[in-house]
Structure 1
Amino acid sequence: MDSLVATDGAALPPGALSSPAARRNAAPILGVLKAHMPKKGRVLEVAAGSGEHALIFACALPGVTWTPSDPSREARDSIDAWRRDGPSNLRKPLPLDAADPATWPPTAGPETAWDAVYCANMAHISPWSATEGLMVLAGRMLRGPGGLLALYGPYREADLPLSPSNAAFDESLKARNPSWGLRAREDVEDLARSQELVATRRVQMPSNNLMLLFRRA
């Protein structure tokens, strides 16, 4: 859920939006996903933003069916623009809002379980209710045992000082919206545990970000 900007660059699909941060962090995130994502299965991306991650990851992980989602119509239009000439395993975006269960995919019937859920840079630019909803969604929809929840972004950690850049970022987020801000990793892990999602790995990423991996018990 990086900030989006309109672009009319010749190399980009007409109508697509672009996120410089998404382009920068795609390669290191993909490295982690390749190591831990199932070779085959269904992946749900929550808060897919511009759709660049969805396209890059679907191309790099041809064995999975990648379904992006975003509550923003502008973002979904951009995802559609990126996927226009994309691979067949990149599916149409869903209008999913993590904080609103009424928008979630059905949990009953055929093909309702997901092998992995991926979400980047949502927790700090949304109310805490969105993270709560994400955990409930993952707890209900991930195939168990072993279904993967992969989160990317900056977090506070009780045993480590906050980097100056992340501290400044946190202040700027709260100035824009008091309900935003960097979340404590421990709070996120406690929330995951309440939905039978077990924290299995913390991966240090560039620019003081983390990948947090959870598995369905």
Structure 2
Amino acid sequence: MLYSFMGERARYQPLTREDKITVVLYRIGIFLSTLTVCISAILAIMGLRYPEVLNNRVISSGLALDILLLIFYLGVGLSVFFIHLYVGKFHRVLKKIYYVAVPCLAVLFLAGKGNPAVPLLSGQSYETLLLIPVSLCLGFVTAKEAFCFQLVEGYILALLMPACLFFYSVGALSRQTAVYALGLIAGLLVLFIFRKVFMPLDFDIGDKSAYQP
């Protein structure tokens, strides 16, 4: 079924209040994810040019980075739990991946001794692998939108995010290359969100009679 992910541009039925709330929360999640990735990209690029600023003012405290990371997880979580999919098993699989991502965040807290974002910005480390599950969740969201609405950047993001995390963590990408890749991901997310969030809310709901358990 070509419509199994969603993506109906026709208005099949009036939207209920619950429909509108869930779609808005879903899009807020995408926005928060994009915002945090963009801020992270800016910090990482600044760190290449002014490493003393990043080390002394950002990494030394870690609190702002940790809040940024938590907001990222919150944004991805909103997208995961409020996404509208015709096939229920896809949604269940997506939620299971997010359930794996949350313990990975807890491990990051332990690895960073309370500051999970610090090892992520302080250099190459295997801790970066712990971000792959949450990147898969976000990648599923972007790929779903790409499939439904021809947002080609969504497919690129779905492949690029986990691939960059993996290759950077094992040392196949230099820090500079990884930072520029993060900048590319941020740019693609900005393009993606501007093409997505202004769509009519009806597009995300589609035909309710086609939903499968």
Q: Same fold (TM over 0.5)?
A: no
User: Normalized against structure 1, the TM-score is what?
Assistant: 0.24
**Structure possessing the higher radius of gyration over alpha carbons:** 2
| Structure with more strand by fraction | 1
| Structure with more helix by fraction | 2
User: Normalized against structure 2, the TM-score is what?
Assistant: 0.24
RCO higher in structure (CA 8 A, sep ≥6): 2
